[in-house]
Amino acid sequence: MPATVHVIARFVAKAGKEDELKSVLTALIPPTRREIACYQYDLLRNPADPREFCFVERWESSEALEQHLTTPHVKTALAQAQPLVESPPDIRRYQIL
């Protein structure tokens, strides 16, 4: 049985671009949650720094995550987010020990 994959994906908006980035990221939620191998997909915002957004994700397997990253909605969102963020998203994968 493949190991569940947990992902933390952090995005930091450029100053003044917070609302635009929020719109791009929230648009990912409905189609991603419909993906069969997606167990969790929550978008958080840092109350101490409203420019910082973070997805907390849980996937059935690494293969499921890789498949997610190739979907049209992810490719579109990453392209739309690029001019709105200070740097590329910090995406980290974890597994439960």
Flag whether pLDDT at 2 surpasses 80.
no
Domain ranges of the chain: 5-94
The mean per-residue pLDDT over the stretch 47-67 comes to: 96
| Cα–Cα dist 31/50, whole Å | 24
Residue 65 makes CB contacts below 8 A (sequence gap 6+) with 5, 7, 57, 59, 93
- Return the CATH number of the domain spanning residue range 5-94: 3.30.70.100
Is 0.85 topped by the overall pTM?
Answer: yes
